[in-house]
Amino acid sequence: MSLRVEAARKGFRAYGGAHVVALDGIDLEAADGELLVIVGPSGSGKSTLLRAIAGLETLDEGRVVIGERDVTDVPAARRDVAMVFQEAALFPHLGVAANIGIGERARGAKRRDVEARVREVARSLDVEHLLQRMPGELSGGERQRVALARVMIRVPAVCLLDEPLASVDAELRLRMRGEIRAVQRSLGVPMVHVTHDQLEAMAMGDRVAVMDHGRVLQCDTPAALYEQPATTAVARIVGPLPMNLLPAADGVVVGVRPERVRVGKDGDGKRTGTVTAVEPAGEECLIRVQADEELLVRMPWGEVPKVGEQVGVAWRAEDEHHFDAVTGRRR
Ligand SMILES: Nc1ncnc2c1ncn2[C@@H]1O[C@H](COP(=O)(O)OP(=O)(O)OP(=O)(O)O)[C@@H](O)[C@H]1O
């Protein structure tokens, strides 16, 4: 069943009386089996959107539609939406197996069927060896996987994840991304995953919606977001590094990705400047070059100039993005 959010608006009356617009007219759709990732800076409205889909927040305007059913006024418990939060909330007095199976048991499934299903989903999320433990005996990442297993034990109409990997270390994160993808494919339901880690968004999403200030700036495939960012804001948010944005003539801002800038000897290039910083970044190096504006460049270690050196910076014409200096929109 597909998920649609139409013209969703939500404001909050904050402490002291100020009005905060959390959702400012959101239109989004996630198809069956699609993983839609929502990415955006802190306070952009990601959690509010997820909570509105789940029914934990009422919309001021707009609709939430699951399949053909308008669920805007349906309470959370009757929406058939499964949600995993940032902090996995497990029942502390129940063992891991019981935590995973509790929903199925509550729905009246037979004990034996539930046990088999618990083992199956625990195996796919690599928590089978933890089934006899209590939640207090688990690490943060293990707790998170148990919480995922609890959601994924049945097939909900929609599955929502709110930064479920936030407290997980880098290596496990990488593995869990793959596991979430695999389980999600097998469930075949729309999944909406919120993160502020745009690399994770690009790695996991079939499509990625970039949010800022309660709006969706662009919603597209990871490749399209990288190659054709619709605005300067998207160009800064999406990609391994923020895009360099350089004011040019005729009200144009030229964008060029740090990984596409080449550095040569003085005079060799579109601009010349002085190297102001060299920062190691794993296999590669980030350098800052002060030309008319500061440029960020990612380059291999072997070719790195020294701080204070004069260099030329250049890029291919096809790696240039053009934006309107006033509206920030792609030209
Ligand atoms: N209950 C509330 N009362 C008042 N303002 C709220 C409430 N919940 C959210 N907001 C405000 O709405 C805006 C959107 O918040 P939201 O939590 O959806 O952002 P977010 O993108 O999920 O942020 P983060 O990445 O930090 O979790 C923020 O300005 C926030 O301060």
- Average of per-residue pLDDT across 297-322: 91
* Rounded CA separation 119/330 (Å): 50
Which of 153-162, 181-190, 254-263, 303-312 is predicted least confidently?
181-190
Name the CATH code of domain 3-232 (choices 3.30.2420.10, 3.40.30.10, 3.40.50.300, 3.40.50.1000): 3.40.50.300
pLDDT at 274: 94
Q: For residue 15, how far is its CA from the centre of ligand 1 (angstroms)? A: 13
Q: For residue 6, how far is its CA from the centre of ligand 1 (angstroms)? A: 20
Q: For residue 235, name the pLDDT band (cuts at 50, 70, 90).
A: very high
Mean per-residue pLDDT over the chain, rounded: 90
- Average of per-residue pLDDT across 168-174: 77
Looking at mean pLDDT, say which of 216-230, 267-281, 306-320 comes out highest: 216-230
Q: Give the ligand 1 atom nearest the CA of 51.
A: 18
Query: Higher model confidence: residue 223 or residue 179?
Result: 223
Ligand 1 pocket: which of 24, 47, 193, 237 to mutate (most atoms within 8 A of CB):
47
pLDDT digits (tens, 9 = 90+) for 7-33: 999 999 888 888 899 999 999 999 999
| For the chain, domain boundaries | 3-232, 244-324
Decide if pLDDT at 282 tops 70.
yes
Ligand 1 pocket: which of 9, 39, 44 to mutate (most atoms within 8 A of CB):
44
pTM over 0.90: no
The string over 158-183, giving b where at least 16 C-beta atoms fall within 10 Å of a residue's C-beta and e elsewhere, is bbbbbbbbbebeeebbeebbebbbeb
Query: Higher model confidence: residue 266 or residue 8?
Result: 8
Assess: ipTM above 0.90. Answer: yes
Q: Give the ligand 1 atom nearest the CA of 211.
A: 21
pLDDT digits (tens, 9 = 90+) for 81-134: 988 877 667 888 999 999 999 888 888 889 999 999 999 989 888 899 999 999
* Rounded CA separation 299/285 (Å): 5
Q: Give the ligand 1 atom nearest the CA of 47.
A: 22
Ligand 1 pocket: which of 9, 13, 24, 48 to mutate (most atoms within 8 A of CB):
48
The alpha carbon dihedral of 154, 1, 181, 138 has a sign of negative
CB–CB of 279/257 below 8 Å?
A: no
Give the percent of the chain with pLDDT over 70. 98
Task: Give the CATH number of domain 244-324.
Answer: 2.40.50.140
Q: Which residue owns the Cα nearest ligand 1 atom 29?
A: 43
Q: Which residues line ligand 1 (CB under 6 A)?
A: 12, 14, 20, 22, 40, 42-48, 196
